[in-house]
Structure 1
């Protein structure tokens, strides 16, 4: 079975999407529609902006979402997923690609999500750290032993986990994780503690927007970050999406479940190749590649 996966924040690059815009009329139409919805020319930043300009909160998440979703539309009849999943932000791309969300609604939610996360970051200083070389259970136990807020946030692949929380708590956890034998416990240059209780103000804001958005039954199951299981009903998708901001991204578990349910071929739709690398580390017996563009 074919599984299509959609990347999250960090996959952006200068010039992203320009090839799609120049070659495919459907891409051009959607990019122009996005400029109207967002109220600014995001295409200018994506196609010609600097790396720093692409890191702006109001740009990064919509830019990655647009690249992924528009690429899935360009694939046309070649896009035939039997299951989908997205890493954090990528879950919104996956939902539009598999028909559970309209393009306009998905983009609007992603834009609101980015701004809500930025405000939550400004409200209380917080951070994340990458932990390499320890079992998940060891990381979880050490985080729970630290005073303050620090939790496992991204289960990326076996031996690679990201923790998230208050700055002092994350720093203390990193020291204890190194003492426990972590190969690395490295603070990340991020604006805040994503996928942790620190994002509760953002979750509350986004919840209202999600509840007021119409979701449809997806064309195929989506393996959502919160549950790591196949989800096929609009109401469950909505509920899981609301929980996503403060809950961990269970990417390792999602890929394992997709393989267990029959996925043998993983195709990454969007900028970069991060997810392909993670999939191969989670299960070296499956194939993982980038989506190939059709002839224009």
Structure 2
């Protein structure tokens, strides 16, 4: 069974859309996205443009869908789709639950709401070496460190936790985490406090906006962010997309669900590599490849070879 993963905000780097393989299906996907949003999508991945969450989230959605379509054109069809945070939108397109143009408009609205709610002074930190329980205990030991609360945003691996909050709170928490034994505590390239109660009002607005967007039954398995389980109804997929900005992403549980369902080959869309590394570490018997690690068609060739070898 083949699974395709789509990365979230923080994976981006300047020029990543321009580094996608120069194939017709990739170019047509970018053109379709530009037409749907009435803007030049290829202008969104410059270092300056990527300072905006709107540009980042749209670009990631486009890269994910372009990759799924490039694989499909080569006769490679994923049976399972899952995306971290905004990556869920590309996953919903890839599994056939939502039209690309509708997903893009929803992504744009999502990012605008997040940015409007917290235009500056907030973000995310990645903490490595502490468990979720240790992070939660550390959050609760001294009330609101650094002038604000810190929240568990992503559980990417058993000892790789992302927390959200204000800049001051995160800087103070990073120091406390390292003092408590964390191997690393580092701010991420994300300028909004994703996946926590700080985005409750923005989430409610997006839920209202999404109610008019058609979302159908997935043709392939779609694994949701919040509960890390397969969602079979369009309404459930819509809810997962509209609300994931507010709730903790249980990404390691998602990866575990995919493995337990029998995935033998896990692919990660560009520009992500982190999920591939997590799979390698936690599930070494499962083959995992990151498209961003390959140039041009070497990714396609490697996938076909793995499939031919029975991966």
Q: 1:211 to 1:146 in 2, by over 3 A?
A: farther
Is residue 37 of structure 1 aligned with residue 40 of structure 2? Answer: no
Q: Is the 8 A contact 2:61 2:90 kept in 1?
A: yes
Task: Tell me the residue number matched to 2:195.
Answer: 195
Instruction: Provide the C-alpha distance between the structure 1 equivalents of 2:165 and 2:16, rounded to a whole number of angstroms.
Output: 31
Task: Tell me the residue number matched to 2:246.
Answer: 246
Task: Tell me the residue number matched to 1:51.
Answer: 47
Q: Any idea what SS the aligned residue of 1:194 has?
A: coil
Q: Deviations over 1:187-229 (max 9, x none)?
A: 4453121111111232122112221111111112211111111
Instruction: Provide the C-alpha distance between the structure 2 equivalents of 1:141 and 1:35, rounded to a whole number of angstroms.
Output: 46
Instruction: Provide the C-alpha distance between the structure 1 equivalents of 2:44 and 2:151, rounded to a whole number of angstroms.
Output: 34
Task: Tell me the residue number matched to 1:164.
Answer: 164
Task: Tell me the residue number matched to 2:114.
Answer: 117
Is residue 2 of structure 1 aligned with residue 5 of structure 2? Answer: no
Task: Tell me the residue number matched to 1:174.
Answer: 174
Task: Tell me the residue number matched to 2:307.
Answer: none
Task: Tell me the residue number matched to 2:86.
Answer: 89
Structure 1, unaligned runs of 5 or more: none
How far 1:104 moved relative to its partner? 0.6
Instruction: Provide the C-alpha distance between the structure 2 equivalents of 1:21 and 1:265, rounded to a whole number of angstroms.
Output: 21
Q: 1:45 to 1:254 in 2, by over 3 A?
A: closer
Structure 2, unaligned runs of 5 or more: 292-298, 302-311
Q: 1:80 to 1:130 in 2, by over 3 A?
A: same
How far 1:11 moved relative to its partner? 2.8
Q: Is the 8 A contact 1:5 1:269 kept in 2?
A: yes
Q: Is the 8 A contact 2:71 2:77 kept in 1?
A: no
May I ask how many residue pairs the two structures share in their alignment?
289
Task: Tell me the residue number matched to 1:104.
Answer: 101
Q: Any idea what SS the aligned residue of 1:288 has?
A: strand
Instruction: Provide the C-alpha distance between the structure 2 equivalents of 1:76 and 1:168, rounded to a whole number of angstroms.
Output: 45
Q: Any idea what SS the aligned residue of 1:51 has?
A: coil
Greater shift, 51-60 or 134-143, is seen at 51-60
